[in-house]
Amino acid sequence: MKKIVGQLESVFLTLTRFRNPLIVLLTRLGFIEMPYFVFRFATAKGPTAMLGRPTTTSLADLFVIKEVFIHETYKDILPLLAEGGVRFVDIGANLGSFSIWLAQQRHVVSSYCFEPEPDSFRLLGFNLSLNSCDGVMPIHAAVGGTEREISIQLKSSSPGGTSIYSNGCSDAGQHPDRTGIKVVAFSQWLNEVATPFDLLKLDCEGAEWEIVRACGHIIGERFKVVVAEIHDDPDKESAVDAFPTLMEKHGFSTLRWDGKSQGLYIGKRVS
């Protein structure tokens, strides 16, 4: 019953908040196939448009757009951010939904968005330009605890679900469904960027664990607020519920924790 109610709610939101809702539904159900589609929808801040991939999977771009703009999953961070201007880093930017949503809520002084998956990165750049996010700089790379080059499996059926841990020994050049990407060591990158930051957003399919383990002390010094979608620990060193404790060791108080894999964590640096 809960699943049916959720599906009905999703259809209702599509019909009431999206322009051309019939086309949106038909592409979502697979009756119309196209590689890209401009989703146009209404938000509290006005009409918004995002170029995405209308697949039929649960990790479809439409799902992310609804979560960020319609359900406003990240709204709990807004009282923690100054009205005057925000500087942030977005690790796992995907289409740019979070950055564009935040730019609608606060003036963005400067920000950096990391996205490793090639197609998502192209869409990220397009969507930032489409929504006049001039202060946001896209970076074509993944982020981890250590710098390295890896090969990742591209997932055309589930865009946005690519992980730096789904790599293997195969040569990316010999396999068209694999691609080589650079993993940036977050501590090294922060040492090269002198900008003071207000917010760190993490949605990087498990890499949040190695990032915090490698440079949690630096994160505690450089960021006032951290918001993260927490996944199971790829190294299986900790249960997912241990993440708030890990952040507390680096000077953050936990303001929200959903207590489950793919749940949301929000922490604020203790003054």
Q: Are residues 192 and 80 in the same domain?
A: yes
- Whether residues 133 and 250 share a domain: the answer is yes
Tell me, yes or no, whether 63 and 194 share the same domain: no
Both tokens of 104, joined, read 């609608």
On whether both 109 and 64 belong to a single domain, the answer is no
Q: What is the pLDDT of residue 163?
A: 83
Same domain as 116, residue 62: no
Rounded distance between C-alpha atoms, residue 139 and residue 237, angstroms: 30
Q: Count the domains in the chain.
A: 2
CA pair distance 53, 160, nearest whole angstrom:
10
Residues 9, 127: one domain? Answer: no
Q: What is the pLDDT of residue 58?
A: 62
Same domain, 114 and 233: yes
Identify the pLDDT of residue 4. 74
Maximum pairwise Cα distance, the chain: 54
Could you give the 3-state DSSP secondary structure of residue 124?
helix
- Last residue of one domain, picked from the residues 15, 37, 72: 72
Same domain, 145 and 160: yes
Residues 127 and 52 in one domain: no
pLDDT score, position 215: 96
**From the CB of residue 204, how many other CB atoms can be counted at a distance below 10 Å?**
26
Residues 152 and 228 in one domain: yes
Looking at residue 202, which CATH number applies to its domain? 3.40.50.150
Pair 60, 160 in one domain: no
b/e map 118-129, b = 16+ CB within 10 Å: ebbbebbbbbbe
- Please report the pLDDT score of residue 164 as a whole number: 86
Q: Which domain holds residue 128?
A: 73-269
- Output the pLDDT for position 157: 64
Confidence at residue 30, expressed as pLDDT on a 0 to 100 scale: 85
72, 102, 121 - which closes a domain:
72
Domain co-membership, 241 together with 144: yes
Q: Which residues in the chain come in under a pLDDT of 70?
A: 2-3, 5-7, 58-59, 155-160, 166-177
Express each pLDDT in 125-179 by its tens digit. 999 999 999 999 999 999 999 999 998 777 666 666 778 886 444 444 444 567 8
| Coil, helix or strand at residue 32 | coil
Element (H, E) at 153: strand 148-153
Predicted TM-score (pTM) above 0.85: yes
